[in-house]
Amino acid sequence: MSPRQLSARLAEVTALIRSRTGAPPQVAAILGSGLGGFAGRLERAVSIPYAELPGFPASGVAGHAGRLVLGDLAATGGPVRVVLMQGRVHGYEGWSAAEVAFGARVLCSLGVKALLVTNACGGVNPDFGPGTLVRITDHLNLTGQNALTGENDDAVGPRFPDMGAAYDPELGQLLEAAAAEAGVPLRRGIYAGVSGPSYETPAEIRMLRAMGADLVGMSTVHDVTAARHQGVPVAGLSVVTNPAAGLTRTALTHDDVQRVAARAAASLEAVLAAFLPRAAR
Ligand code: HPA
């Protein structure tokens, strides 16, 4: 990807999305593994497969390609316009960090007030059992990659963006208020982003814990870096699907991760439904 053309590429994709979806979105969310069901809550929704959006990375696996969904979310005080990414690609599939982050960039370029990133992750903090929902308060980017590597396009954002409030404290408060309203317990934690695709070794998890991580996963950090580059405030919400390696005797499988994510999806959706209208206004 030539960063020189980033602003032009974003302008092309957003123009195409606008031509197909009417009124612009007020707020955006990226739905992680097993958490895509929330898209079904949008009314008058228009969905666009990633493959129809030039430059948008799409997984080659049939049924997992993902789509952008734009529609109305019912809320007290009237509906809000929401744009969702249902599915995302990961660095371990071979995409560069900049490519991984392109979807988040498109959402931000549509003029949203806030971006919510969600993910399924492992619990490094031994208090965070499967099904725990966690407000991400900060992250450790341990992927060895950065979404801003390469020439900077000053029309998109600064060369050296501040990451001092990568996860916006006010949005974090709104997330906690939304969880309280939904009756869903919400913890706080620091997310360690790793490259995967192998899960961690017990020694790596001990290292992550010593570094201050509560959560570990293979997504999110590039999306957040790109959103902050564009000046869009971010909230992060994790679903813990498993105790991280070494914290349990059971071997980790992707099927288990997906199953727990699906089970926790109802709680996550309730929080999203309460949070997005608050963040949109
Ligand atoms: N490690 C990394 N990524 C993950 C995990 C994990 O334990 N669970 C879900 N995504």
Contact 269, 244 (CB under 8 A): no
Name the residue range of residue 163's domain. 3-280
- What is the rounded average pLDDT of the residues 150-177? 97
Minimum CA distance residue for ligand 1 atom 6: 122
Q: How far is CA 56 from the centre of its chain?
A: 16
**Tens-place pLDDT, residues 66-82:** 999 999 999 998 999 99
pLDDT at 65 over 80: no
Instruction: Report pLDDT for 61.
Output: 58
If DSSP codes are grouped into helix, strand and coil, which group holds residue 136? strand
Q: What pLDDT shows up at residue 256?
A: 82
CA nearest to 67, candidates 88, 81, 95: 88
Instruction: Look up the CATH number of the domain holding residue 12.
Output: 3.40.50.1580
Helices (H) then strands (E): counts for the chain = 7, 9
Identify the CA nearest to 200 among candidates 215, 220, 212: 215
146 is catalytic: no
Distance between Cα 65 and ligand 1 center (Å): 21
Is 254 labeled as catalytic in the residue annotation? yes
Spot the catalytic one: 29, 50, 85, 90: 90
CA atoms within 13 A on the CB side of 46: 13
- For residue 217 and ligand 1, the question of a CB distance below 6 A is answered with yes
Q: Which of 118, 207, 242, 250 to mutate to test the pocket of ligand 1 (most atoms within 8 A of CB)?
A: 242
Residue 39 has pLDDT above 90, yes or no: yes
Residue 134, Cβ density class (10 Å: 0-12 exposed, 13-18 middle, ≥19 buried) = buried
Q: Catalytic site residue 64?
A: yes
Other C-beta atoms lying within 10 Å of the C-beta of residue 165: 14
**What predicted TM-score, i.e. pTM, was given to this entire model?**
0.95
Ligand 1 touching residue 240 (CB < 6 A): no
The confidence band for 263, taking pLDDT boundaries of 50, 70 and 90, is: confident
Q: Indicate which residue of 109, 119, 219, 238 is catalytic.
A: 219
Is a pLDDT exceeding 80 seen at residue 191? yes
Whether residue 3 is predicted with pLDDT greater than 60 in this model: the reply is: no
Residue 196 is encoded by which pair of tokens? 């995967």
Contact 259, 170 (CB under 8 A): no
SS3 251: coil
Q: Distance from the CA of 199 to the center of ligand 1, in angstroms? A: 6
Alpha-carbon distance values, 141 to 1, 160, 200, 204, 231 (Å): 21, 16, 15, 14, 19
Residue 27: how many CA atoms within 13 Å on its side-chain side?
Answer: 22
Q: How confident is the model at residue 251 (pLDDT cuts 50, 70, 90)?
A: confident
* 39, 104, 120, 265: the active-site residue: 120
Burial class of residue 234, CB neighbours in 10 A (0-12, 13-18, 19+):
buried
**Is 211 known to be catalytic?**
no
Distance from the CA of 217 to the center of ligand 1, in angstroms?
5
Instruction: Say if ligand 1 is within 6 A of residue 225 CB.
Output: no
**Catalytic-residue membership of 43:** no
Residue 78: its pLDDT value, please?
A: 93
Work out how many domains the chain is built from and give that number: 1
The active-site residue out of 59, 75, 92, 207 is 92
